Each structure stands twice: as C-alpha cells, then as structure tokens.
Amino acid sequence: EKPGLELAVVSVPSYACQRHTPLLHHNTILTDALSILAENAELSENEGRGVAFRRAAALLKSLPQEVRGAEQLRGLPCLGEHSLRVIKEVLEDGVSHEVETTMHSEQFKAMKALTGIFGVGAKTADRWFREGIHNPSNLQRSGHTLNRAQRIGLKYYDELNLPVTKPEAVAIGQIVERAVHAVLPGAEITLIGGFRRGKQTGHDVDFLITHPDEGREEGLMPKVVSWLEAQGFLLYQKTTGNSYLESKEGPARPASNMDRFERCFSIFRLSTDNEGREIQTGDGPQTYSPTLTNTDPHTHSDTHPHSKTDSHPLPQTLVVVGDHAQKVSRVLGHSQCSGPRSWRAVRVDLVVSPYSQFAFALLGWTGSKLFERELRRWAVHEKAMTLSSHALYDRKRMQYLRASSEEEIFAHLGLEYIPPCDRNA
Ligand code: DGT
Ligand code: MG
C-alpha cells in the first residue's frame, strides 16, 4: 500500500482564489509537465486549453503533500481528462510522451524563442515561423521591418531573457522612487507582480504608484518618464494614458478590464560594475531618503496602502555577487552591443493608480495571472459581481463596492483573505 492515500479525502475548493498556493510546493515534477502543455496551448493561441492545464497545475501546487499515485487524485476538482492522463503518465513512467514531444518540437522551440523577443506576441511569432524564421538570428537576417520595441528586443535579447533578481528589483525600485519623488513628493511606490508574491526572480519588475491626495497622480507618468530619460535610465519606454471612466450603469466594458491605467512599459539601464557585480549609485545618501513600501510577502501588514510602519531604509549601494553576477557579465561580454559594459537592460512595468482604486490595482497587479483570472471568475459566477483592477461592481445591488485594502475586497467577495505569498497559483 502506498503512503498518503488519505490525500483525496481532504476537500479542496475548486477556485484557485479559495486556496493557499505557496511558491514552493510538493508537486513540481507534475506541474512542470502541465506548464509546458499550457505554454504550448497559449503559444498556439488556444486559450481555453491553456487555462485548463494551468488550473490543473494550480490545484497540484496547493496540495499539502506529494502525489504518488493517481488514486490519490480521486474527488479533486480542476483535473480534466487530458491533465489526468498526463499526470498518470508522469507518475508511472517519470515522463509524459506528449510533454517530451512538445518540448522538443521545432514549432514550440521557435515560438518560445521568438516570443522571447520583447515586443513580439504569438501572432507575429507564428507568422514568422511559417516563413521559416525560428530564432532571433533568423529574424535579424530576414530583413523584416521591425517596430521600435522589437528592434530593442532583438538588440538586448540575451540579457532581457536573463532573470531579474530580487536585489536588481530593489535597485530598480530605488531609481523609480527617486524619479517619482522628484516630480511628486509624497507619492507611494509599491513593488507588485511576482516579487510581491515572494518570487526571487522575475521576467520584469512591476511597480504601482499612487498619491494619498486623489488627483495629484494625474499626468504623473509623463513627468516620471521625462525625469528617467533625462538621467539616462531608460533604453525604451512606451506610455499609455488612463482611459478608465466609472459609470452609473456599471463598468462600460466589463470584459475588458485591462490597460486602463496610466502605464509605462519600459526597459531600464541598470548599472553593474566592471566585475559584473551590480551596483546602483544614487546622488548620495544626503539627497535620497528611500521610503519604498515594505512588500515582504511573509508579512501581511504590507497590504494596507496607508501603512508605512514597516518601511525601512534601503541600502544606498547594492552589491550582488555569485552565480547571477557571473551569468550577467557573461551575457554582457557576449552581447551584440559593442563588447562588455557596465550596465544591463531590465524590463520594468510602471502603473499609476488613483488612491481610491489603489486596493483594486494592488490586488489586480500582484498576480499570479491565474489567481487573477480565478478571482474574476469567482466574482462573476458565484457573486454576480464584476472585478477589475479599478473597481468591484455588484450587479444585483447595481453599485460599486469601495475598498481601501485587499482584505476588504476579499471580504466583499465572500472569500477568505489570501496573502500575496499564497497567490502563486
Ligand atoms: P514575472 O514577471 O514573469 O516574474 O511574473 P509576474 O507574475 O510578475 O507577471 P507579470 O509581470 O506579467 O504581471 C504581473 C501581474 O500583473 C500579473 O500577475 C497580472 C497583472 N497584469 C499584467 N498585465 C496586466 C494588464 O495589462 N492589466 C492588468 N489589470 N493586470 C495585468
Ligand atoms: Mg512581473
């Protein structure tokens, strides 16, 4: 008899937003396999299939122990026929034939390589793949006309595909804070995205910016961007304006709850020193007093926008050594941009939110993507509410529900509060 047969007896709720999903879990062999299939479905623009694999993987991530046999999965939600088949194969043979075939397929490899270029989505990558373009070098030689984002993406391909580390994210945070405070003192900057969930690396760094005096944040992004540009911190930026308007009839387009804040997709130029250690020098400690909100995912107090009690000064100079520094310097040494240099390119996403929407923006931009999707699905199907990164609308009472913290939003939704570190669905 195999141990842990009682696993299936514990009841597991079916929405990921009802569960605690830590970053580290017991079933990575299974979730890695399912993630490959999810990614392949997404790259083939089969969203439904992708979500099904992501939901199955998220369920496994939330289990309190390792699954050793398929019989332990009986009665668990979110496991479709296809996912179950893959799980059984991995449990029995150690690998799934379908996953292996997918991973090594020319199409999957090419789609991954091409969508790995900043500014290239699945549609464009697919078109190029059909023309025989399978990687960045093929693209470079193809003579295709690229837009500005894609040209930058190609130029910094290797380093933009190197993970961004937590210390690098903190260093970027210091720069963002200097920029924001230079143009709007009193503004608050919060690290969001995967780093807020406790991830040690990310594909980018995400920040949410607000100001306690509603209205002061209006038009902030162009000013921040100008400051950053003047200081030479930006390699690329694309700013989009705020287009969110609350209406009495409820959200104008409930299906589209994305992209309506002032937002800036950018690529930062982050200094490293000659030995490949990363260093960010500022104007000096006398002119810069950091107040970056503490977003330690293991403390729950960081979720309140008004709370500054756990803020602490950040080090003025960051020195990062070891494995990552070596990787960075290797990539920089081999980069197509005129030899070794003392900075690296990092993707940074900036979002500005009015104070009254801050809690919704914080919840909406902390992720994970599946957790967000599940929150919105829960809201619609279980509560007849529409949740976005701007607001929560109660369709029965025909009114917006205000909230100044994530805890309040979970309460409005009738959900147990799940802290950021447990939203890694
Ligand atoms: P990473 O950067 O790969 O380590 O992982 P994340 O979780 O930081 O993912 P990222 O940076 O793509 O996005 C951060 C979160 O922000 C994500 O969980 C969902 C949310 N998000 C991303 N793009 C949009 C958007 O256009 N609109 C809204 N409302 N949310 C977005
Ligand atoms: Mg991110």
Segment-wise mean pLDDT, segments of 10 residues, the chain, 425 residues: 53 96 98 98 98 98 96 95 98 98 98 98 98 98 97 97 96 97 98 98 98 96 97 96 64 48 96 57 36 40 37 43 82 68 95 97 98 98 97 97 98 98 98
Phi-psi region of 131 (alpha: psi -120 to 50; beta: other; left: phi over 0): alpha
Q: Show Cβ contacts of residue 121 under 8 Å, excluding neighbours closer than 6 positions.
A: 115
pLDDT of residue 234: 98
What CATH number should be reported for the domain holding residue 417? 3.30.210.10
Q: Show Cβ contacts of residue 248 under 8 Å, excluding neighbours closer than 6 positions.
A: none
Asked whether residue 295 falls in the same domain as residue 216, the answer is yes
Whether 158 sits among the annotated catalytic residues: the reply is no
Asked whether residue 129 falls in the same domain as residue 210, the answer is no
**Which residue's CA is the nearest one to ligand 1's atom 27?**
258
Its domain, for residue 145, covers 106-155
Count: domains in the chain? 4
What CA–CA distance (Å, rounded) separates 141 from 100? 30
What CA–CA distance (Å, rounded) separates 269 from 155? 13
Q: Which two tokens stand for residue 247?
A: 């209406």
Asked whether residue 13 falls in the same domain as residue 134, the answer is no
What CA–CA distance (Å, rounded) separates 92 from 107? 28
CA 373, 369, 260, 351 torsion-angle sign: positive
What DSSP state is assigned to residue 272?
A: B
Is the distance from CB of 237 to CB of 226 less than 8 angstroms?
no
Whether 206 sits among the annotated catalytic residues: the reply is yes
Asked whether residue 401 falls in the same domain as residue 279, the answer is no
* Within-domain flag for 88: yes
Asked whether residue 185 falls in the same domain as residue 278, the answer is yes
pLDDT of residue 326: 85
* Cβ of residue 419 lying under 6 Å from some atom of ligand 1: no
Cα-to-centroid distance, 106 and ligand 2 (Å):
28
383 burial (CB, 10 Å; 0-12 / 13-18 / 19+) is middle
54, 263, 372: residue to mutate for ligand 1 pocket, most atoms within 8 A of CB:
372
* Cβ of residue 372 lying under 6 Å from some atom of ligand 1: yes
What CA–CA distance (Å, rounded) separates 381 from 83? 24
Asked whether residue 317 falls in the same domain as residue 291, the answer is yes
Asked whether residue 192 falls in the same domain as residue 286, the answer is yes
Asked whether residue 135 falls in the same domain as residue 275, the answer is no
Instruction: Please give the ipTM for the structure prediction.
Output: 0.97
What CATH number should be reported for the domain holding residue 71? 1.10.150.110
Cα-to-centroid distance, 390 and ligand 1 (Å):
15
Asked whether residue 121 falls in the same domain as residue 87, the answer is no
- Tell me the residue ranges of DSSP E strands in 161-293: 164-165, 188-192, 201-202, 205-210, 234-240, 262-271
